[in-house]
C-alpha cells in the first residue's frame, strides 16, 4: 500500500456533547457516517431495510479525497488490503499514426487498440494529494465499513424500514420491523437520511416545502460486468489487461467503457455506458433486463479488446438506467439531514458518488466537534457541502457529453486536444482534468469545516472583549442577499427612548412602511423588490418583532438566536452587517464612503473582517441606510402620509 501523507491535526477531536443519532441506511454513506460519529463519541443507531447486508455490486473507485477520510477513520489500511492501486489511466481507440484525423480517425477510431493518451496516477496522486487512487469491489468496501461500525459500537438493525420522520422534523422516526411486523416511533437528537437515491425522507422533506422532487431520465444506461479470471485463461489479450493496474477508458459515439482489475486481478470490472432502450425511458424504470447480444451489437466494430471482454460476459445482464435530479433547495430541516445519494445523486462519469457521501459524513462529524447545537451544525454542514457536491454532480453530467460525442469535427477537436501539450489541464474529461482533480481530490473538507468554525468562533468571542458589543451584535442585521430575505429586524431597539416609545415606533414603522423596493448590496448598489406590505406575509414578522421589543433588556436567548443565524447567513452570495438604526452619519451610498465612515467603529469593523474570512464572500459593513424609497434618510424619522414616524425598515 502506498504511504499516506496527512498533516491534518484534527483526527483526535471529540464531540462537544455525546448525542443520540439515528442513521437511515447502511450503505457506504450511512456506514461512513456511523463510523465518523461513533469515532467522535456519539451513540449511533443505524436502520437498514434489507434483511442482510450481502456482498453485492461491482467495482468502485477510492479517490484521494475518500482515502484521506478513510485514513482518519482508521479503516484505510483494511480497505487498501482489498483494493488495487491504479498506476495510470489509458485512453484508447484513436489511430495515432495517421495525420488525416477527420478521415482516418473515423475509419479506425474503434477498430484500433492504439493508446491515444495516458494520464499517470502513481506516484503523482500520492505526492500531490497525499493519497493514491484505488479501486475495490463495492461489497468488500461495505463489509469493511460494516465491521468497523460494529467495532465502534454502532447499533445496526437490518430488516427495519424507516417509514417516515416526525412531520416537524424533530429527530423522531417511524420504524417498521420486518421480522416481527411491529411498528414504533423512536426519538433521538438527530436523524441522518442516507437512504439512497429513492429516499423517502427526502421526498417527505421536499413535499413539506412544496418542492416537486422527481428524477429526470438522462437517456443513458449502464451495464456493469465482472469477468472472473478463470473465464479468460485462454484469452491472452484480456488476461494481460487483468494483470496491469491500469484503468482503460474507451470513448465512443453514444457511449464509453471504463475497465480495471479488482480483487487481486481475480475479477475484471467493466462499466459500459450506452443509450437506454426507448421502452425503459421512464422515471419509474431504474433497472431492466439486458443481454450480452445487445452489448455486442452496440459495440460492433469497436476494438478487439472490447469485443473479447464482452464475449466473456454472462448471457443475461442487468441495465441500470441513469437519472439526474435538480438541485434541492435544502439538505436539512429541523434536526434532520440528508446525506449521500439522498441529496446529491451523481452520474458515474467522475466516480465521485461514494467519495462525496464520505465527505458528507466527515463534515457532519467534524461540525459536531465544534458545537453541540444540532441545527447550527447542520447549517454548517449544508453550507460547506451543498455547493461543492452540486458542482461535482454538474461536472459529471457535463462529462457524459464529452465521452459520448458522435463522430465529427467536434469529436476530432476533442481528440486532438487530448494529445496536445498541456492536455491534462484542458482535458474536457473532468475525471482526468488536472484542475478538476485538484477540486475533487485536493480539497480537505474536514480542515475546511474546522477553519470556518474557528473564524466564526472569533466573532462570538468579541462580546467578551467589548462589553457594549453584545448588544450591538444581537441587533446586527445578517441578510441573505441571494434571496433578499431578512433574518432578524430587532435593530430598532438600538435606538434611544423608553420601552413604550420603542414599541410604538416599531409598530408604526412596520405599519407605515409600504414601499415595494429597498436598497441591497449586490454587485454595487441595486434596487431589489421586497415584500414590505404589512398586510402580506410580513404580519407574522411584525408580531414577532413588536413582541420582542417589549422585553428589554436583551435576553441571552436572543443572543443565541443571532449566533445560530450565522450558518444561514453563510449561504448568501454576500452579507450585509450593520449596527443599528439611530446614527445619522451617512451622506452618500458609495461603498468606499460607507467603509471610511465605519472605520472608527472598531468592533463592527473587526467583525466584518472576521466574517469575510470565515464566509469567503463579501461582507459589507454599514451603520444605517434607509430603504423605503431607495434613498438615504437624513433624519431618524420620515414623513409618511403626512405623519412623522420613526422608520423601521432599512437595507436588506
Annotated binding site: 624
Q: Which residues, 6+ apart, have CB-to-CB distance to 85 below 8 Å?
A: 1, 2, 122, 132, 133, 134, 245
Pairing of strands 20-24, 190-193: parallel
Phi, psi values for residue 498, rounded to 5°: -75, 170
Nine cell digits for residue 401? 457529453
Report the C-alpha gap between 479 and 318 in whole angstroms: 50
With beta carbons less than 8 A apart as the criterion, state whether 8 and 72 touch: yes
* 180 C-beta neighbours (distance < 10 Å), count: 9
How many whole angstroms from its chain centre is CA 158?
27
Nearest to 619 by CA among 628, 606, 632, 630: 606
Report the C-alpha gap between 32 and 126 in whole angstroms: 23
Beta partners for residue 225, in sequence order: 270
* Inter-helix orientation angle 539-549/499-512, to 10°: 170
Q: Which residues, 6+ apart, have CB-to-CB distance to 511 below 8 Å?
A: 534, 542
With beta carbons less than 8 A apart as the criterion, state whether 86 and 246 touch: yes
Beta partners for residue 274, in sequence order: 221
Q: Is 35 exposed, middle or buried (0-12, 13-18, 19+ CB in 10 A)?
A: buried
How many whole angstroms from its chain centre is CA 609?
26
Buried b (16+ CB within 10 A) or exposed e, 90-121: bbbbbbeeeeebeebbbebbbebeeebbebeb
Nine cell digits for residue 351? 466516480
Nine cell digits for residue 324? 439526474
Residues in the chain: 652
Quickly list DSSP for 285-340.
--EEEEEHHHHHHHTTTS-HHHHHHHHTS-SEEEEEEEEE-PPPS-SEETTEEE-G
With beta carbons less than 8 A apart as the criterion, state whether 484 and 616 touch: no
DSSP alpha helix (H) spans, 333-373: 353-367
Half-sphere exposure of residue 415, counting CA atoms within 13 Å on the CB side? 30
Pairing of strands 160-165, 172-177: antiparallel
Report the C-alpha gap between 216 and 198 in whole angstroms: 13
Phi, psi values for residue 165, rounded to 5°: -105, 165
Between CA 612 and CA 3, with CA 367 as vertex, the angle to 5 degrees is 100
Nine cell digits for residue 550? 417589549
* Annotation: binding site for phosphoenolpyruvate: 624
Nearest to 90 by CA among 119, 63, 70: 119
Pairing of strands 332-333, 316-324: unpaired
Q: Which residues, 6+ apart, have CB-to-CB distance to 477 below 8 Å?
A: 486, 487, 488, 489, 491, 576, 577, 578, 650, 651, 652
Amino acid at each position: 500500500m502506498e504511504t499516506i501523507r496527512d498533516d491534518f491535526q484534527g483526527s483526535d477531536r471529540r464531540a462537544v456533547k455525546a448525542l443520540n443519532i439515528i442513521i437511515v441506511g447502511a450503505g457506504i454513506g450511512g456506514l461512513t457516517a456511523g463510523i465518523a460519529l461513533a469515532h467522535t463519541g456519539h451513540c449511533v443507531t443505524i436502520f437498514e431495510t434489507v434483511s442482510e447486508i450481502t456482498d453485492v455490486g461491482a467495482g468502485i473507485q477510492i479517490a484521494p479525497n475518500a482515502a484521506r477520510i478513510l485514513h482518519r477513520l482508521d479503516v484505510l489500511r483494511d480497505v487498501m488490503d482489498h483494493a488495487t492501486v491504479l498506476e495510470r489511466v489509458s485512453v484508447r481507440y484513436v489511430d495515432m499514426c495517421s495525420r488525416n484525423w477527420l478521415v482516418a480517425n473515423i475509419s479506425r477510431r474503434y477498430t484500433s487498440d492504439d493508446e491515444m493518451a495516458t494520464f499517470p496516477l502513481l506516484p503523482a496522486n500520492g505526492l500531490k494529494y497525499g493519497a493514491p487512487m484505488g479501486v475495490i469491489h463495492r461489497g468488500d468496501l461495505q463489509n469493511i465499513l460494516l465491521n468497523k461500525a460494529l467495532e465502534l459500537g454502532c447499533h445496526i438493525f437490518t430488516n427495519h424500514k424507516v417509514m417516515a420522520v416526525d412531520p416537524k422534523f424533530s429527530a423522531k422516526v417511524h420504524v417498521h420491523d420486518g421480522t416481527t411486523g411491529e411498528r414504533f416511533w423512536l426519538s433521538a437528537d438527530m436523524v441522518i437520511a442516507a437512504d439512497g437515491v429513492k429516499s423517502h425522507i427526502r421526498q417527505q422533506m421536499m413535499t413539506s416545502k412544496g418542492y416537486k422532487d422527481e428524477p429526470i431520465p438522462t437517456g443513458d444506461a449502464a451495464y456493469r460486468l465482472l469477468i472472473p479470471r478463470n473465464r479468460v485463461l485462454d484469452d491472452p489479450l484480456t488476461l494481460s489487461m487483468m494483470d496491469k493496474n491500469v484503468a482503460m477508458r474507451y470513448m465512443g459515439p453514444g457511449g464509453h467503457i471504463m475497465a480495471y482489475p479488482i480483487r487481486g486481478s481475480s475479477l475484471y470490472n467493466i462499466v459500459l455506458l450506452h443509450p437506454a432502450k426507448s421502452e425503459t425511458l421512464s422515471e419509474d424504470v431504474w433497472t431492466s433486463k439486458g443481454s450480452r447480444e445487445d452489448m455486442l451489437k452496440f459495440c460492433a466494430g469497436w476494438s478487439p479488446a472490447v469485443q473479447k471482454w464482452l464475449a466473456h460476459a454472462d448471457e443475461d445482464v442487468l441495465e441500470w438506467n441513469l437519472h439526474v435530479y435538480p438541485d434541492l433547495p435544502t439538505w436539512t430541516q429541523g434536526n434532520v439531514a440528508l446525506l449521500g445519494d439522498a441529496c446529491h445523486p451523481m452520474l458515474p462519469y467522475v466516480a465521485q458518488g461514494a467519495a462525496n457521501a464520505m465527505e458528507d459524513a466527515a463534515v457532519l462529524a467534524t461540525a459536531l466537534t465544534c458545537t453541540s447545537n444540532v441545527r447550527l451544525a447542520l447549517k454548517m454542514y449544508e453550507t460547506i457541502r451543498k455547493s461543492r457536491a452540486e458542482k461535482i454532480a454538474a461536472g459529471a453530467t457535463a462529462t457524459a457529453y464529452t465521452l459520448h460525442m458522435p463522430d465529427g469535427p467536434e469529436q476530432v477537436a476533442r481528440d486532438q486536444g487530448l494529445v496536445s501539450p498541456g492536455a491534462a489541464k484542458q482535458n474536457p474529461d473532468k475525471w482526468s482534468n488536472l484542475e478538476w482533480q485538484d477540486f475533487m481530490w485536493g480539497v480537505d473538507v474536514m480542515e475546511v469545516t474546522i477553519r470556518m468554525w474557528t473564524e466564526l468562533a472569533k466573532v462570538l468571542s468579541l462580546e467578551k472583549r467589548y462589553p457594549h458589543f453584545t448588544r450591538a451584535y444581537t441587533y446586527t442585521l445578517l441578510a441573505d442577499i441571494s434571496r433578499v430575505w431578512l433574518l432578524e429586524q430587532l435593530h430598532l431597539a438600538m435606538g434611544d427612548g423608553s420601552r413604550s416609545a420603542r414599541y410604538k415606533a416599531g409598530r408604526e414603522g412596520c405599519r407605515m412602511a409600504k414601499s415595494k423596493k429597498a436598497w441591497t448590496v449586490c454587485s454595487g448598489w441595486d434596487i431589489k423588490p421586497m415584500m414590505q406590505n404589512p398586510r402580506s406575509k410580513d404580519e407574522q414578522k411584525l408580531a414577532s418583532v413588536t413582541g420582542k421589543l417589549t422585553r428589554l433588556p436583551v435576553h441571552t436567548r436572543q443572543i443565541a438566536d443571532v449566533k445560530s443565524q450565522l450558518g444561514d447567513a453563510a449561504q448568501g452570495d454576500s452579507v450585509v452587517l450593520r449596527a443599528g438604526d439611530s446614527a445619522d452619519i451617512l451622506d452618500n451610498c458609495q461603498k468606499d464612503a460607507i467603509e471610511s465612515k465605519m472605520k472608527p467603529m472598531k468592533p463592527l469593523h473587526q467583525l466584518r473582517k472576521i466574517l469575510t474570512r470565515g464566509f469567503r464572500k463579501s461582507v459589507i459593513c454599514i451603520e444605517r441606510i434607509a430603504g423605503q424609497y431607495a434613498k438615504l434618510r437624513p433624519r431618524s424619522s420620515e414623513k409618511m402620509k403626512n405623519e412623522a414616524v420613526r422608520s423601521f425598515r432599512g437595507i436588506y
